[in-house]
Amino acid sequence: MFETVLFPIDQSRQTMETAAVALELAKTHGSRLVVLSVVEAEEGAMHDAAAVAKLLEQARASFEQAGVACEVLEREGKPAFVIGDVADEINADVIVMGTRGISLESNEPSTAARVIQLAPCPVLVVP
């Protein structure tokens, strides 16, 4: 059912909590797991390419230690758009991501809210 799982990550604490869901989904379905991190053009934690590379390597090691091989991708751009583009490119069956930053009353949608609107596949949003 879920042949390819896309798991976008950042440096938030919630990413690590959401990783358990992505891991379980990949294990249960024998899925190809693709971990994506987006280097943003704006200043911030995800602006540092070296920090992003380290984050991806830590994610890979964590998943492999749990018995699930994964592919890692690093891209540059606006996270929601890049996530949607990569999901389309790899024919993802589901995107697994956290709700960090979702605000139903904010005028500015969160990355998760934008991904839900843009994604070419279902999005599993983990609270």
- 120 Cβ contact list (under 8 Å, min separation 6): 84, 87, 88, 92
pLDDT score recorded for residue 71: 95
Task: Note whether 10 and 45 are within 8 A (CB).
Answer: yes
Which position has the token pair 């964590």? Answer: 62
pLDDT tens-place string over residues 111-120 = 889 999 999 9
On the 0-12 / 13-18 / 19+ scale of CB atoms within 10 A, 75 is middle
Would the pLDDT of 121 be above 90? yes
pLDDT score recorded for residue 47: 63
CA distances from residue 5 to 22, 50, 51, 95, 107 in whole angstroms, order as listed: 7, 25, 23, 6, 30
Q: Which is higher by pLDDT, 80 or 53?
A: 80
Structural domains in the chain, CATH included, are 4-126 (3.40.50.620)
pLDDT score recorded for residue 103: 46
Would the pLDDT of 4 be above 70? yes
User: What dihedral do alpha carbons 24, 116, 90, 63 form, nearest 10°?
Assistant: -30
pLDDT tens-place string over residues 88-99 = 999 999 999 988
pLDDT tens-place string over residues 15-70 = 888 999 999 999 999 999 999 998 887 655 556 778 778 888 999 999 999 999 99
